[in-house]
Amino acid sequence: MELFWNVATKLMDPFVFLLILGGVTAGLFVGAMPGLTAAMALAVLLPFTFKLPPLYGLVALGAVYMGAIYGGAFAAILVNTPGTPSSIATAFEGYPMAKDGRALEAISLATVSSALGGMAGVFFLLVLSPPLARLSIQFGSAEYFWVAMLGLTLIASLSPGSTLKGFLGGSIGMILAAVGVAPIGGDNRFTFGMPVLQGGVEMIVALIGLFVIPELFNMAAQGRAALAEVTMESRKRGTFLAAIRTVFSMPGNLIRSCIIGEIVAIIPGAGGSIANLVAYNEAKRASKHPERFGKGSVEGLVASESSNNVTVAGSMVPLLTLGIPGAPPDAVILGVLLMHGLRPGLDLFTVRGDLTYGFIISMGIAALFMVPVGILGGRLIYRVILKTPHYLLVPSIALVTILGTYALRNSLSDVVIMLLLGTSGFILKELGVESAPIVLGLILGSIAEMGFVQTLLRGTSLEHPWLMLFENRLSQIIIVLMVLSFASPYLSAGIRRLKTPPGEPPDEEASE
């Protein structure tokens, strides 16, 4: 009860509401820009929270995250370019609706679905986190090592395209995490004689570089050509109340999409980009009118937007309990937690319960704030997206990126590292190695190393110290899950190949 009053008192502060409003608006604008992802939004806006106390900083970034995922729907609906990868399926239905003069209806539906999804995510987070946090105290070094490896295999199996390239990306990220002073042992590794590398590759620096720079180059190369413009005729005006009625008229679709969103959110590395596609696909399979999908189906739009916003708070479950980011933007939140000396785990829910629960509930408030911000700001955002020339947008992002990276440690070397990583990330992306596995490898690398070395140290008295890695039941369960996730793409490809009638070419995915 005391905790409840503590949290309530902290959240009743008008400044908190101002931060949420500002965060949702800023996130919405960034997320609505095609090519700018939620991770980018958080990374770019992070420096603005440096001077804030931990709760305020987390509240602001949580609101930015919520707004950015929702903002992706605007570009998806209006210019057929998902503002963030979490809105890919939104474009499938939102854009045909916009072309049909139903842009405002689509935006209203996306707003209601996103707000409901966001609140569902907060509910899941409140319900699932405490038991998982209690479970986390049973995790020893070996379990943490295996959880990190499980994260890596999941990331690799879920990354678009080739699984092998996903593993390659994850390994590159883990090697980058090993740069600098060893956490156990204390020697300098991979510094190539450069003292600046002794501090290692700062996680947020890598995140900004790998997520922002490749998109910046793409935007520079393609300019406005990437954006197929739509004329937003408001022939059919979408009222907000009608949108609420429509969304609630399909409870099955809504609940299913929220559950799918939460399941995907808990899997490290998956996040909204996968949740929206899975939920969309399931909505299509369950629909009485699958033929309407791709032509402006409301069901598809609701499924995509509710599921992707569930992942915002939902993906915090593994982050706040185990320190494993559920999605790339969570890496920034993890960075903020660590920056303020807060370590994920049970302590976050007991010792710092006021802060943690305050942060979680603030995300629910942010989900509610999306409604007025989205409804009132929709037209303005539409104008901004369509009217801002790319030749001003690209250098503007570059400016904020440089400033944000520099402000982390007041270091120009970090900016150079960010540019180098970003340029390498762009080349790797062209070759099919995505940025997400690299970034998550970077985060999981240090967790895995600590777990690995500590476990082997514990086993020094044994003849084979590495057997300690396989010793207890929890480790064995995680290993089984890891093997399953590793084998799943190959198993499903094999099953698809078996199902393909002779003479017909197997589909592309199956041939992978």
Q: Site residues for other proteins, window 314-343 (CB under 8 A)?
A: none
DSSP 466: G
Stretch that binds other proteins, among 115-123, 232-240, 316-324, 390-398 (CB under 8 A): 390-398
**Residues 78, 97: Cα–Cα separation, whole Å:** 9
Indicate whether 211 belongs to the interface with other proteins (CB under 8 A). no
- Rounded least distance, CB 261 to other proteins, Å: 30
Summarize the chain as % helix, strand, coil (round to 5). 75, 0, 20
Helix (H, G, I), strand (E, B) or coil at 129: helix
**Residues 237, 69: Cα–Cα separation, whole Å:** 24
- Rounded least distance, CB 157 to other proteins, Å: 13
- Rounded least distance, CB 353 to other proteins, Å: 29
Residue from 68, 207, 334, 433 that binds other proteins (CB under 8 A)?
A: 433
Helix (H, G, I), strand (E, B) or coil at 260: helix
Q: Site residues for other proteins, window 224-243 (CB under 8 A)?
A: 224-226
Q: At what angle do helices 141-158 and 163-177 cross, to 10 degrees?
A: 140
Nearer to other proteins, 457 or 480 (CB): 457
Give the count of beta carbons closer than 10 Å to the beta carbon of residue 244. 17
Stretch that binds other proteins, among 134-142, 188-196, 262-270, 365-373 (CB under 8 A): 188-196
Strands 188-189 and 180-181: what pairing? antiparallel
Q: Which long-range contacts (CB under 8 A, 24 or more apart) does 257-260 make?
A: 257/117, 257/282, 257/283, 257/302, 257/303, 257/304, 257/306, 257/307, 257/310, 258/116, 258/117, 258/120, 258/121, 258/124, 258/306, 258/307, 258/310, 260/307
Indicate whether 510 belongs to the interface with other proteins (CB under 8 A). no
Indicate whether 415 belongs to the interface with other proteins (CB under 8 A). yes
Stretch that binds other proteins, among 18-26, 305-313, 327-335, 383-391 (CB under 8 A): 383-391
- Pattern 272-301, binding to other proteins, x per CB under 8 A? ------------------------------
Stretch that binds other proteins, among 48-56, 115-123, 308-316, 362-370 (CB under 8 A): 48-56
Indicate whether 460 belongs to the interface with other proteins (CB under 8 A). no
Residue from 351, 399, 477, 484 that binds other proteins (CB under 8 A)?
A: 399
Give the count of beta carbons closer than 10 Å to the beta carbon of residue 264. 27
Residue from 216, 230, 267, 301 that binds other proteins (CB under 8 A)?
A: 216
Residue from 137, 286, 351, 431 that binds other proteins (CB under 8 A)?
A: 431
Indicate whether 496 belongs to the interface with other proteins (CB under 8 A). no
**Residues 179, 92: Cα–Cα separation, whole Å:** 42
Residue from 396, 476, 492, 500 that binds other proteins (CB under 8 A)?
A: 396
Residue from 75, 303, 371, 456 that binds other proteins (CB under 8 A)?
A: 456
- Decide if 302 contacts 276 (C-beta within 8 A): no
- Rounded least distance, CB 394 to other proteins, Å: 6
Residue from 131, 160, 223, 294 that binds other proteins (CB under 8 A)?
A: 223
- Rounded least distance, CB 476 to other proteins, Å: 20
Indicate whether 406 belongs to the interface with other proteins (CB under 8 A). yes
Amino acid at 139: F
**Residues 96, 80: Cα–Cα separation, whole Å:** 9
**Residues 236, 238: Cα–Cα separation, whole Å:** 6
Can you read off the two tokens belonging to residue 112?
A: 């209601």
Amino acid at 288: K
Nearer to other proteins, 101 or 161 (CB): 161
Give how many residues touch other proteins by CB under 8 A. 70
What does the longest C-alpha to C-alpha distance in the chain come to? 77
Stretch that binds other proteins, among 22-30, 81-89, 168-176, 324-332 (CB under 8 A): 168-176
Q: What's the per-residue H, E or C state across 272-333? A: HHHHHHHHHHHHHHHCCCHHHCCCCCHHHHHHHHHHHHHHHHHCHHHHHHHCCCCCHHHHHH
- Report CA 224 to chain centroid distance, whole Å: 26
Indicate whether 479 belongs to the interface with other proteins (CB under 8 A). no
Indicate whether 217 belongs to the interface with other proteins (CB under 8 A). yes
Residues of this chain that interact with other proteins (CB under 8 A) are 47-48, 50-51, 162, 164-165, 167-168, 171-172, 174-175, 178, 182, 184-192, 216-218, 220-226, 389-392, 394-396, 398-400, 402-403, 406-407, 410, 412, 415-416, 419, 423, 426-428, 430-433, 445, 448-449, 452-453, 456-457, 511-512
